């Protein structure tokens, strides 16, 4: 058995792996970049070692540094988590060549499934049904455009070496193909160092169904049933569940058998996920589910499988890598109840889901569901890595009960001043069509206006803010608390004052001083007299005085500012160019995603202040425009 395990990753997955290692009596080693010196995963490990600067390619993605760290700390095994180095065959070979145990599939299996076009060819030969499309080696844009026309629009462009939605674009019409292809290639090259793509027919009512498989070194392969990951935004999973709603026994048997066959075809070992796309226009049917790809690693959503099977998948990974047989046979694996997972991100849904960075001055997760997190109060969310803060997982006897439990948990999330998508997640979970199981990968996009309704503070929240404002005002005078405080505006033969004037986002509000249930709201005090009330997954910020505005200050939108720190990925204009409202100006890369900044009106580019590759800080002026 492994004695000391190094995790070549960070954040919640590193913390999650350490928990199992500690339970099994295995020592743990964390690696960290300059940006993660005080990160939660560093604190969670028995030992920690620095491996480089904040940029991932100079630290977490540098396999040589990771292996050196393992040898320097006397680790005898490396677990890659997911992402980063988990699907890098060369890294897996280097790990074993260094005399270390690799907790993952053989390099041959990683290579076989790592390139989507080759994997589909292999699956076709193995009798696994695949999505129709173009898998050719000719990557000339003209050839790809011609093949897209043959397939028929809409088509899907996908990075050959891709995953997680990187390098993926849906194209609805021929005139948009060239631009989408260029963007997909640029994103694929940045994420995977490989800009090759394949084309697929676009399934109009797609469901994303995936099967968890496990194989040992003795030739045994089992499945741990399926997950549904159809609720996505920009091809990134948002909510996952197990089992898939509407999955009958016949369809389940077919798709799970295909997943096992896929794993056997590549001589798989360890944990893997075989992903399928289903045409759900007539419900889930055995003949309308096709192989998409195989992720040769543990998945972010593995906790829902753990919940419905009662198994620890990380423990299985460690035991299989140590040469042990699978702990259970297929007939011994049971499916129990329903589990749902939501991904809590540091982002602002109201502003196009832009990532949010900064210190987590207040960070409180709900206590009645499983929480896998890589952060604690006081930690800093940086712009260098994925913006996921936590995963919330609920398990119950029925799907309806699990959904209700998770929705309530999302309502109870308290994070400030970093913004989160907690209220958005609760809105998704509460949507009647989702509750009814009427889901597909376009669910969120089609209902975005319903799901992004901005919440307003309740009377109870206003009352909580007012009560704290009174206390803060008295404390500011350095006078002791007085019973006369509750008699605000008191005079003989006149009613007491029942409201207090507060301000939120520049708007004056009359907050009730004795609102019902006000004492049930969590309140935090911020700088400059700010009062933060947490409610329904949101953080509502109030002040006791109107916002200050400097003389002559104007809002103006003639300057395009960086919404967050990041790197300029592309520039689409030059000085003097005429632009129209909505036209792309520059693309900013931050937290592993590209964010396109567009012209707010028709006009001309007065000054372009950045170039490709520039690192910019939040609020930096990128472009100046002239209207008209």
Distance CA(158)–CA(177), nearest Å, equals 13
Annotate 344-378 with b (16+ C-beta within 10 A) or e (fewer): bbbbbbeeebbbbbbebebbebbeebbbbbbbeee
Among 387, 406, 385, 383, which Cα is nearest to 396's? 406
Distance CA(349)–CA(428), nearest Å, equals 12
Distance CA(252)–CA(278), nearest Å, equals 12
Using DSSP, state whether 614 is helix, strand or coil.
coil
Give DSSP secondary structure letters for 235-297. Answer: TEEEEEEES-TT--HHHHHHHHHHHHHHHHHTT--EEEEEEEEEETBTB--GGGEEEEEEE-S
Residue with tokens 């040769």: 296
CB 236 within 8 A of CB 203: no
Using DSSP, state whether 590 is helix, strand or coil.
strand
Residue of 111, 297, 343, 399 marked active site = 297
- Catalytic site includes residue 297: yes
Using DSSP, state whether 499 is helix, strand or coil.
strand
Sorted by sequence, the CB contacts under 8 Å of residue 111 that are 6+ apart come out as 89
Give DSSP secondary structure letters for 384-409. Answer: SS--EEEEEEEEESSHHHHHHHHHHH
Sorted by sequence, the CB contacts under 8 Å of residue 158 that are 6+ apart come out as 116, 167, 168, 184, 197, 198, 199, 200
Using only C-alpha atoms, the chain has a radius of gyration, in whole angstroms, of: 26
- Residue numbers annotated as active site: 297
């Amino acid at each position: 058995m492994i004695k000391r395990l190094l995790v070549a990753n960070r954040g919640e997955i590193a913390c999650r792996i350490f928990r199992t290692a500690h339970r099994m009596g295995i020592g743990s080693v964390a690696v960290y970049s300059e940006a993660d010196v005080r990160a939660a995963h560093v604190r969670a490990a028995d030992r920690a070692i620095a491996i480089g600067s904040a940029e991932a390619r100079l630290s977490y993605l540098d396999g040589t540094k990771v292996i050196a760290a393992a040898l320097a700390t006397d680790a005898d095994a490396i677990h890659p988590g997911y992402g980063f180095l988990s699907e890098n065959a060369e890294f897996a070979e280097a790990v074993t060549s260094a005399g270390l145990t690799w907790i993952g599939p053989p390099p041959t299996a990683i290579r076989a499934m790592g390139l989507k076009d080759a994997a589909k060819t292999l699956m076709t030969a193995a009798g696994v049904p695949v999505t129709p499309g173009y898998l050719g080696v000719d990557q000339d844009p003209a050839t790809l455009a011609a093949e897209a026309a043959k397939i028929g629009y809409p088509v899907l462009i996908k990075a050959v070496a891709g995953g997680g939605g990187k390098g993926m674009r849906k194209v609805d019409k021929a005139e948009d193909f060239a631009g989408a292809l260029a963007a997909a290639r640029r994103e694929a090259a940045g994420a995977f160092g490989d800009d090759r793509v394949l084309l697929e027919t676009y399934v109009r009512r797609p469901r994303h169904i995936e099967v968890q498989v496990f194989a040992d070194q003795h030739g045994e392969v089992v499945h741990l049933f399926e997950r549904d990951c159809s609720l996505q935004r920009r091809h990134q999973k948002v909510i996952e569940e197990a089992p898939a709603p509407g999955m009958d026994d016949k369809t389940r048997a077919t798709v799970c058998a295909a997943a096992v066959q896929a794993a056997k075809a590549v001589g798989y070992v360890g944990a893997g996920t075989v992903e399928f796309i289903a045409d759900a226009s007539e419900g889930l049917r055995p003949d309308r589910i096709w192989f998409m790809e195989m992720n040769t690693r543990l998945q972010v959503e593995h906790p829902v499988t753990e919940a419905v099977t009662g198994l620890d998948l990380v423990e299985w990974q460690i035991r299989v890598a140590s040469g042990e047989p699978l702990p259970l046979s297929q007939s011994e694996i049971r499916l129990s109840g329903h589990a749902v997972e939501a991904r809590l991100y540091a982002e602002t849904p109201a502003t196009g889901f832009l990532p949010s960075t900064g210190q987590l001055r207040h960070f409180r997760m709900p206590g009645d569901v499983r929480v896998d997190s890589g952060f604690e109060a006081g930690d800093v969310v940086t712009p260098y890595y994925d913006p996921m803060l936590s995963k919330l997982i609920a398990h119950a006897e029925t799907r309806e009960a699990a959904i209700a439990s998770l929705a309530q948990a999302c309502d109870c999330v308290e994070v400030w001043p970093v913004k989160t998508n907690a209220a958005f997640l609760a809105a998704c979970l509460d949507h009647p069509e989702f509750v009814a199981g009427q889901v597909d990968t376009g669910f969120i996009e089609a209902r975005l206006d319903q799901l992004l309704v901005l919440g307003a503070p309740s009377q109870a929240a206003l009352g909580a803010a007012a009560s704290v404002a009174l206390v803060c005002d008295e404390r500011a005078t350095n006078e002791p608390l007085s019973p006369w405080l509750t008699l605000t505006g008191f005079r003989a033969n006149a009613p007491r004052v029942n409201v207090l004037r507060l301000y939120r986002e520049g708007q004056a509000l009359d907050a009730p001083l004795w609102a019902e249930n006000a004492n049930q709201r969590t309140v935090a005090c911020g700088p400059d007299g700010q009062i933060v009330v947490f409610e329904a997954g949101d953080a509502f910020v109030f002040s006791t005085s109107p916002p200050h505005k400097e003389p002559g200050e104007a809002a103006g939108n003639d300057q395009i500012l960086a919404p967050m720190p990041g790197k300029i990925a592309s520039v689409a204009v030059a000085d003097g160019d005429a632009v129209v409202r909505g036209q792309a100006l520059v693309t900013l890369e931050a937290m592993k995603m590209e964010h396109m900044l567009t012209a707010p009106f028709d006009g001309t580019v007065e000054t372009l202040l950045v170039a490709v590759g520039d690192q910019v800080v939040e609020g930096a002026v990128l472009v100046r425009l002239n209207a008209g």
